[in-house]
Amino acid sequence: MFQWVSQRREADYDMVIMDPPSIIKSRKDAENGKRAYHFLNRAALRLVRDGGIFATSSCSQLLPEDDFAALLRRAATQSNTRLYTLTALRQPPDHPVSPYFPEGAYLKSYVFEVRRKAGGAPSGE
């Protein structure tokens, strides 16, 4: 996946779905894992046409949702895109999260509309 996405540069797709396996397996992998998620999302964003849809997920329990959102914002800025959130998804109720184990909130997904034009508002606005 890393090789394929890094070899493409053109915004050829109306929709790109980024759903990698869990990249951060242990706390010692956290920084390298965040860099990997950033790289993949930034590279994938380059492939989405203006007005297209970008769906991305992380199932790494050691990547908090705030950190995931921050790296998505940075990837969007670096790929000269603006992201408009269409929906944010989390794991279903049959995977409850204990307040004593926040890492149990492992599944984080977003669906965005991608805009490349300066000042362009999403199609629904």
The pLDDT value given to residue 4: 72
Query: Exactly one of 59, 69, 97, 105 is catalytic; which is it?
Result: 59
Instruction: Tell me whether residue 59 is one of the annotated catalytic residues.
Output: yes
Low-confidence ranges of the chain (pLDDT < 70): 2, 117-125
Instruction: Please write down the HEC assignment for all residues of 53-108.
Output: EEEEEECCCCCCHHHHHHHHHHHHHHCCCEEEEEEEEECCCCCCCCCCCHHHCCCE
Spatial separation of the C-alpha atoms in residues 38 and 95, rounded to whole Å: 26
C-alpha distance from residue 67 to each of 63, 64, 73, 116 (Å): 6, 5, 10, 24
d(C-alpha 54, C-alpha 13), whole Å: 10
Among candidate residues 22, 125, 37, the one with its CA nearest the CA of residue 82? 125
Q: Is 50 helix (H, G, I), strand (E, B) or coil?
A: strand
Question: pLDDT digits over 14-30, tens only?
Answer: 999 999 888 888 899 99
Give the per-residue pLDDT at 122.
54
Which domains does the chain possess? 2-115 (3.40.50.150)
Per the structure block, which two tokens stand in for 92? 């279903």
Separation CA 103–CA 27 (nearest Å): 11
Written as six digits, the tokens of 48 are 């989405």
